[in-house]
Amino acid sequence: MREGLHVLGSEDLEDFLVLTALDPVVNCFADYRARTTRLDPRWLGGEVWGRYDGGRLTAACHLGANLVPIQASADDARAFAERAVRRPRSVSTLVGPQAAVRAFWDVAAATWEAPRDERWDQPHLELIGEPLVEPDPEVRVTTKADLETLYPACVAMYSEEVGVSPERGGSSALYRARVTQLVSRGWSFARFEDDRVVFKAEVACVSPAAAQIQGVWVPPDRRGEGLATRGMAAVARLVVPELAPSLSLYVNEWNEPARRAYEACGFRQTATFSTLMF
């Protein structure tokens, strides 16, 4: 009978999916990663740790480019942090439910360098059912023919949101490949006007419970026109039920215009996330 903290593998997939199902929309990313990699470190590009109590998996931690506590109590998060600080920091982002991230950071802060950005209060939002506004009929699934117009908008969104360009350090090929992948999957949506993107959004990951949205963006000179509200309604119509039964996302607490747009569309807060970027 397993006890304590272990690296999970494919043989633990069923137990892991039972764990993520305890809060399936909040755990959308973890569920998606598990199903697509089967918890095989070769495909994960990292590891997933699990904490057992009486032979039952009670908490987990995804450790790749993102470190994500999963169903972790404060005690679980501290245990994961104590293991994480024994190795050089490899993650670029620590993200997840606020209480778990805070408990993890209470331990890791003494060893890891200070984050370049800390976002402690990020409402996690869900849209269940029909949006409250009419969808924008001009928002559509993008195609490979849109890439040259779409890609600069993706770079602008990332740079504004994350605070650094995704092309820094010669990473443009990797970022372009990621955008191309999303387009190829049918996970990229946009409204174009005169060969210009005026609204865009993407699906980041999909589970049986939800599709998590990322990269929502309207150019600064077009904000305040309702493009995001009606655009998100259109994304909901395009995604549900084709990809998943509901939408989720998380937003910075200080981004009042975005929060108003999501609320007008019908999104409601169900949790609070925190993100630390290194």
Q: What pLDDT does residue 277 have?
A: 97
Domain check: are 14 and 92 in the same one?
yes
247-250 vs 268-277, strand pairing mode: unpaired
Q: What pLDDT does residue 129 have?
A: 87
Domain check: are 162 and 83 in the same one?
no
pTM (global) more than 0.85: yes
Q: What pLDDT does residue 170 have?
A: 75
Q: How many domains does the chain have?
A: 2
Q: How far is CA 254 from the centre of its chain?
A: 18
Examine the fold and report which residue of 68, 95, 113 is the final residue of a domain before the chain moves on. 113
Q: What pLDDT does residue 237 have?
A: 96
Tell whether 124 is covered by a domain: no
Tell whether 22 is covered by a domain: yes
> Which pLDDT tens digit goes with each residue over 200-222?
999 999 999 999 999 999 999 99
Q: What pLDDT does residue 235 have?
A: 98
d(C-alpha 179, C-alpha 191), whole Å: 16
d(C-alpha 235, C-alpha 187), whole Å: 10
Q: What pLDDT does residue 169 have?
A: 81
Tell whether 130 is covered by a domain: no
Q: What pLDDT does residue 171 have?
A: 76
Domain check: are 159 and 76 in the same one?
no
Domain check: are 101 and 161 in the same one?
no
Pick from 223, 264, 271: which is nearest to 249 by CA? 271
Domain check: are 152 and 265 in the same one?
yes
Cis peptide before 241 (omega within 30 of 0): yes
The CATH code of the domain that includes 241 is: 3.40.630.30
Tell whether 118 is covered by a domain: no
Number of C-alpha atoms within 13 angstroms, CB side, residue 130? 4
Domain check: are 86 and 191 in the same one?
no
Domain check: are 255 and 162 in the same one?
yes
Class of residue 88 by CB neighbours under 10 A (exposed 0-12, middle 13-18, buried 19+): exposed
Tell whether 202 is covered by a domain: yes
Domain check: are 98 and 8 in the same one?
yes
Structural domain that includes position 205: 140-273
Domain check: are 186 and 109 in the same one?
no
The pair of three-digit structure tokens given for residue 30, joined into one six-digit string: 């973890």
Tell whether 75 is covered by a domain: yes
The CATH code of the domain that includes 83 is: 3.40.630
- CB neighbourhood size of 115 (10 A): 15
Residue ranges for the chain with pLDDT beneath 50:
none
Domain check: are 197 and 87 in the same one?
no
Domain check: are 163 and 257 in the same one?
yes
Q: What pLDDT does residue 172 have?
A: 87
